[in-house]
Structure 1
């Protein structure tokens, strides 16, 4: 049995303690708008959303589904091949805005493991995307999360090394005034800074960037920042 449910409860408990939220009404106001468990069988091309919103993801041909997790292969950052959607799990933009942080509370949490000190793990939008961006990356082997809008940006980087090959649960909470990071159910860091309204028309991608072409940097990013490792589950929570 995987540790997702245990870590999720620990994370919720830590979050409630850290934010002094104790009333059932406050907790009930949250809503999971994306729930990808990555328990699809080998050869699957669709990651099923269990949230009830129907935000299924497209599984790229490079992704190996094991029945319990998604395994993403390695492509060095100096490679010149553009793999596009083949290297990614992609969840299309939702017209109702349920996958965007907007101006309110928004949480991204996932469980992963990796030994690569590089790569964009999860993101929605890129640096110049109109409407802002959400990005998780691991420069130097330390997971960081960033929320960026046209009016503000806040990023926080873990003090815990997370590219050690062990399973880690990452939870990043954005409120109108700050961003908080939890690692393995324990509060790690925060930055008190407003991030405005984040609402773009880009898909969520797991495994790197989609809008990039290293053979022609003029048409996109100079690197697709491909992530290599294993993903156990991913949740997006509003409220």
Structure 2
């Protein structure tokens, strides 16, 4: 029962992840359809949570059935840091989970087995943090807040060069992971309130040097990213 409310809202979205009209739980939807050379990522939800695109991110990348962003592979823990590899959305309060049911969903394709895909905050920052990462090619959802932290891991690697839709959901009672419409992992445990002063980052960490702190850069393609939160009120 603890996984029903927000998951049902996301599942009702049209195929491809595009926002449904009147979707009151939708916080942000980045369709990643900007033209080649664009350095501005638009939020199609109507909430105005736009971001900036680093110069190393390939926009208007042909993805077979549409367009998206391409992120080149960077060697782990090899200086220098490459902030131009990232897409960043400023610290809007609406992007913080707070104490709400909260979900990050995305469509991804990669041959690699490493990297942080989406995150807000880092491991020890004040206010908590969350991220989606793919160590060993397996999707992990991690939420850390005032009441604790919960990590769930997918059972099988997804770095098979095929498209996969991922939903990482944080509920009052725990965290769940869905891949391609199937619940593949869930773990009970409260995380409490998550609210930090950091930007939302796509493609790796914003505060790193590849020496003391690895940047965990993602390599692969993203078709879209969306965030939903139950009780979201504009």
- What residue number does 1:36 align with? 30
Structure 2 portions without partners, runs of 5+: 1-6, 13-21, 62-66
- What residue number does 2:18 align with? none
Q: 1:118 & 1:205 partners in 2: Cα distance?
A: 16
> Which one of the candidate residues 40, 47, 51 is aligned to 2:41?
47
Change (3 A) 1:148 1:9: closer
Aligned-pair CA distance for 1:160: 2.5
- What residue number does 1:87 align with? 85
Q: Is the 8 A contact 1:46 1:59 kept in 2?
A: yes
Q: Is the 8 A contact 1:112 1:231 kept in 2?
A: yes
> Which one of the candidate residues 140, 144, 151 is aligned to 2:140?
144
Q: For each residue in 1:166-203, what CA deviation from the matched residue of structure 2 results, as whole angstroms up to 9, or x when unmatched? A: 11000011111111110011111100110000000101
Q: 2:188 & 2:90 partners in 1: Cα distance?
A: 30
Q: For each residue in 1:183-234, what CA deviation from the matched residue of structure 2 results, as whole angstroms up to 9, or x when unmatched? A: 011111100110000000101111000101125x2xxx2x101110000000
In the TM superposition, structure 1's runs of 4+ consecutive aligned residues that sit over 2 Å from their partners are 8-11
Q: Is the 8 A contact 1:11 1:186 kept in 2?
A: no
- What residue number does 2:72 align with? 73
- What residue number does 1:155 align with? 151
| Aligned pairs, number | 211
Q: For each residue in 1:130-186, what CA deviation from the matched residue of structure 2 results, as whole angstroms up to 9, or x when unmatched? A: 000111111111011101013210110011221111110000111111111100111
Provide the alpha-carbon RMSD of the alignment: 2.0
> Which one of the candidate residues 100, 105, 114 is aligned to 1:104?
100
- What residue number does 1:238 align with? 229
> Which one of the candidate residues 214, 218, 227 is aligned to 1:227?
218
Q: 1:90 & 1:206 partners in 2: Cα distance?
A: 6
Scaled by the length of structure 1, the TM-score of the pair is 0.84
- What residue number does 1:201 align with? 197
**SS of alignment partner, residue 162 of structure 2:** coil
- What residue number does 1:4 align with? none
Change (3 A) 1:11 1:185: farther
Q: 2:105 & 2:24 partners in 1: Cα distance?
A: 14
Q: 1:29 & 1:226 partners in 2: Cα distance?
A: 32
Q: Which moved more, 1:50-59 or 1:29-38?
A: 29-38
Q: Which has the higher helix share?
A: 1
Q: 2:210 & 2:10 partners in 1: Cα distance?
A: 38
Structure 1 portions without partners, runs of 5+: 1-7, 14-27
Q: 1:143 & 1:83 partners in 2: Cα distance?
A: 23
Q: 2:53 & 2:174 partners in 1: Cα distance?
A: 33
Q: Is the 8 A contact 1:104 1:175 kept in 2?
A: yes
Q: Is the 8 A contact 1:105 1:174 kept in 2?
A: yes
Q: 2:9 & 2:121 partners in 1: Cα distance?
A: 30
**SS of alignment partner, residue 140 of structure 1:** helix
**SS of alignment partner, residue 66 of structure 1:** strand
